[in-house]
A and B are shown apart, each in its own frame.
Chain A
Amino acid sequence: MSRELVNVKNLTVAFGDSTVVHDVSFTVHAGECVALVGESGSGKSVTARSLVGLTGANSAVTADTLEIDGRDALTLTTREWRRLRGGFAGLVLQDALVSLDPLRSIGAEIREVLRTHHVVPRRAELERAIELLASVGIPQPELRVAQYAHQLSGGLRQRALIASALAADPALVIADEPTTALDVTVQKQIIQLLAARLDDGKGVLLISHDLAVVADIADRVIVMKNGRVVEEGETNAVLGDPRHEYTRQLLAAIPSAGSRGTYLSRATGSAVTTQRVPLPTREVSADRVILSATGLHKTFASAKRGNELHAVNDVSFELARGEVLGIVGESGSGKSTVANIVLGLTKPDAGEVRIDGEPWTTLAEGQRRPVRSRLQFISQDPLSSFDPRWTVQRVIAESTIVLGLTPSEARDRAAWLLGRVGLDTALLTRHPRTLSGGQRQRVSIARALAPEPQIIVCDEPASALDVSVQAQVLDLLAEIQADRGTSLLFVSHDLGVVHHVSDRVLVLKDGRVVESGQVDDVFYRPQADYTKQLLASLPTAVSAA
């Protein structure tokens, strides 16, 4: 067996009276990737942070054994912890934008690590920083080294953060959701980067809720729930034939081609032999076109003088009654601009959107207002779409005002809708910020349903949610759609989700439609090179199930 980097026996972490990690034991060896899997609140991040002594002043960390690099970490002084962080263990956090200092160039960020751990002489620091940026696949590293976090794209930022974590060549990299906010092609690059570390004989502790990513890289998986380990073992064994009910639920909740037409949140069995419950059937009236977009164009003035960004370039599509049209693309592909044009929030430079054959985008806002309720919107971040001072009831009632209900009717309707989305009516008087992420997205679905719309535009409606909560939200949308015959325009960067929910799909790149058609045709027999490339970037092991 290779060198033991981390040896944890019965780790318990408590904040005051509440214990968030119970008796967790694991080891990480050199050349090995161990993945901690679980939902928000499962204690996986706290477990990882206890390995670098960053659980915070209010925490009490106890363990039978907590050995890091062969040393007893329970007795480390602050000074020794500091040497360990960055030197022996590099930490990569999820949100690169807040993890990088906005007032320092990424070069300065990396040089700080180099200097702290005396990696290279001062004169060689800049050169080394450029080498590191190049090694994590950042193009033009000589240029990038002088840039600041806000000048970089999300993928580049995440890679810069990884470069700073790797600067002192740590034996162990702790990566907390390193790819969660990223497009699939960038995600693939990050995973390859981490895999290269493993080949060099370094260890990786990966924290993720994305089982597909885990399946791609991890040697061993530890599944956590409510601060306890519920299952652990070799990746193939755990994901291929899960023993614990919770692991099975997690696996079944991953939307994919195989889950089409079935409930995500009610499946049992293993990844191979999943017993799925079919969703209620949905009627698509292909001849009844409810929304049509023809030749949409939109150009934005770019920050650089004289440059224009052609965000949407000749996009046309139709949406039938009861149909789900998926729009996929990476960040910057123009998919959100298309959604905004359909919603009548952005005026297209050319082309038009018609609803039910009647003009829509060519109308003035004043004429559009009375018929606005036909079209509703569910956004990625429900909390910011609620007035912070308003209660749930008022939030839902706002969208029904056009119906001209009396206050008591509006209240009854809000209560009924909450029941419809599976929430307790006691939540009516609560403020949305006191709700969980899943509850908030349900409230936002209830609000979108309130005026009985014909079309709902969903912009990444489940991207910010845990996989099991995402499963519930997607199931709810499917049920409601079957019930009401609502058409959905479903915008997402998550190919699995789009494959699960959509009838037809539109693939966007740089504002153009590169491919469109029935979802199975596009995903199984892609014609365009870009679609092929997107699909090839998908983590494969689990999504094939």
Chain B
Amino acid sequence: MTDLLEKRDTDAAPASSTPVASLARRKRRRVTASVVVAGVFVAVLLTAVVVPQLFTAVDPFATVPADGLKAPSAEHWFGTDRLGRDIFSRVIHGARYSILIGLSATAIAVIAGSIFGLIAGLSGRLIPGRLGLLVDETFGRLFDVISSSPGVLLAMVVVTFAGPGVQNIAVAIGIASIPMYGRVVRSQTLLVTRADFVTHAAIYGRSRARVVVEHVLPNVLVAIPVLAAIDVGASILAVSGLSFLGLGPQAPIPEWGVMLAESRDVLRIAWWGGFFPGLFITASVIALTVLGRALQRHIDGRNA
């Protein structure tokens, strides 16, 4: 995206060698403590997603009614819930659900949004006459319809029709994010197809399909990773939110939102039941957003 913005700068080479620019570059390169902390936390989370056994040998589903509602101790780091299940183990195993559903939702939104956005952006240029504009308009209105209601509300409607469950909740949250990617990809496509280098490629006798594959696609999709990285956190939050409402994975699955819901009744006497899942939801969202912003700064800096 920034690539296109710098085209007016005809003397970037001498300018970038000025000390001001190199100072700014050095500043940008500096990895801040928050990025390191966020990176470590996300790395731990992802490890927990793949091999939760690494962190805890306790079965997250094993109930020990006698040990119900024990406060955090050396034996149970995060305490136990009403059925005596180890909350630490459940939080670690729960990462798999919360994180994976969040990632899947984002992936669905990215893929569908990119395809719709590309079709919308290209149709006006490639399909002659009114039909092209009609296709573009149709997708534009579709994005408007989807984004006209709040994302979580829309996801609730989808889940109500499709029924609760892991896949359905990922699809529901993904659909709500489609317009964001679709609009960005569409406008990028319009920009890139009007760029001089696309005109030049035509002058070299390159076919339209090749121009799209070689020039348009790569230059359009550069904007996506940053957007997605920042959005994953929001998706995880949405997953937990819907699960809390009972629309996602069902008990006894240790999804963080489900755990929050389960602990609600006994929160007055056992704060740890809600505190630790809540802490992980919050920390994951913050950490992923911090990393997403860092990625954005890095890419902007590289292209500026």
Contact = CB atoms under 8 A, between A and B. Distances in A.
Contact of B196 (A376, A379, A439): A379
Chain B's interface size range is: 20 to 34
Interface string A233-271: 000000000000000000000000000000000000000
A386 B197 contact: yes
A535 B13 CA distance: 36
B207 interface: yes
Contacts of A369: 205-207
Interface string A421-459: 000000000000111110110000000000100000000
A343 B204 CA distance: 11
B3 interface: yes
B203 A17 contact: no
Contacts of B197: 384-388
Given A18-B19, A379-B196, A384-B197, A40 B11 contact: yes
B6 A387 contact: no
Interface in A332-360: 343, 345
Interface string A1-40: 0000000000000011110100000000000000000001
A219 interface: no
Given A345-B199, A369-B207, A387-B219, A381 B7 contact: yes
Given A15-B20, A56-B20, A381 B204 contact: no
A54 to B, nearest CB: 14
Contacts of B218: 389
Contacts of A345: 199, 202-203
B14 A41 contact: yes
Contacts of A375: 203
Contacts of B18: 15, 18, 20
A370 B195 CA distance: 23
A372 B203 contact: yes
B3 A389 contact: yes
Contacts of B215: 387
B148 interface: no
B7 A384 contact: yes
Contacts of B4: 388
B199 A17 contact: no
Interface centre among A58, A383, A386, by most B CB within 10 Å?
Answer: A383
A388 B203 contact: no
Contacts of A379: 196, 200
B214 to A, nearest CB: 8
Given A376-B203, A401-B206, A385 B196 contact: yes
Contacts of B12: 383, 433-434
Interface in A375-432: 375-377, 379, 381, 383-389, 398-399, 401-402
Contacts of A41: 11, 14
A208 interface: no
A440 B11 CA distance: 10
Contact of B23 (A58, A398, A402): A58
Interface in A43-67: 56, 58
Nearest to A375: B203
Interface in B1-36: 3-4, 6-14, 16, 18-20, 23
Nearest to B203: A377
A451 B7 contact: no
Interface string B268-304: 0000000000000000000000000000000000010
B121 to A, nearest CB: 17
Contacts of A436: 11, 13-14
B221 to A, nearest CB: 11
Nearest to B215: A387
Nearest to B200: A385
Given A345-B199, A384-B195, A387-B197, A433 B204 contact: no
Which secondary structure dominates where chain A touches chain B?
mixed
A192 to B, nearest CB: 29
B205 A15 contact: no
A370 B205 contact: yes
A18 B16 CA distance: 13
Interface in B177-224: 195-197, 199-207, 214-215, 218-219, 222
Interface residues of A, number: 43
A398 B13 contact: no
A398 B20 contact: no
B102 to A, nearest CB: 30
A437 B11 contact: yes
A389 B206 CA distance: 18
Contact of B3 (A343, A368, A388, A451): A388
A389 B2 CA distance: 11
A430 to B, nearest CB: 10
A381 B19 contact: no
A390 to B, nearest CB: 8
Contacts of A365: 202
A292 interface: no
A440 B6 CA distance: 14
B170 to A, nearest CB: 32
B113 to A, nearest CB: 22
Nearest to B14: A41
A40 B14 contact: yes
A464 interface: yes
Contact of A383 (B7, B204, B207): B7
A58 B20 CA distance: 7
B83 to A, nearest CB: 55
A373 interface: yes
A451 B204 contact: yes
A439 to B, nearest CB: 8
B205 A373 contact: yes
Contacts of A433: 6, 12-13
Contacts of B10: 381, 383, 437, 440, 464
Interface centre among B6, B13, B200, B219, by most A CB within 10 Å?
Answer: B200
A415 to B, nearest CB: 19
Given A40-B11, A388-B219, A381 B196 contact: yes
A402 B204 contact: yes
Contact of A435 (B13, B202, B203): B13
A371 B206 CA distance: 11
Contacts of B16: 434
Nearest to A466: B11
Contacts of A451: 204
Nearest to B13: A436
Contacts of A18: 18-19
Given A345-B199, A388-B219, A372 B19 contact: no
Interface centre among B4, B8, B196, B215, by most A CB within 10 Å?
Answer: B196
16 contacts: A15-B18, A16-B20, A18-B19, A58-B19, A368-B205, A369-B205, A379-B196, A381-B196, A385-B197, A388-B303, A389-B218, A398-B201, A399-B204, A402-B204, A434-B13, A436-B13
Interface of B: 3-4, 6-14, 16, 18-20, 23, 195-197, 199-207, 214-215, 218-219, 222, 303
Given A389-B3, A435-B13, A464-B10, 9 more contacts: A17-B19, A58-B23, A345-B199, A365-B202, A369-B207, A373-B204, A383-B9, A387-B215, A434-B16
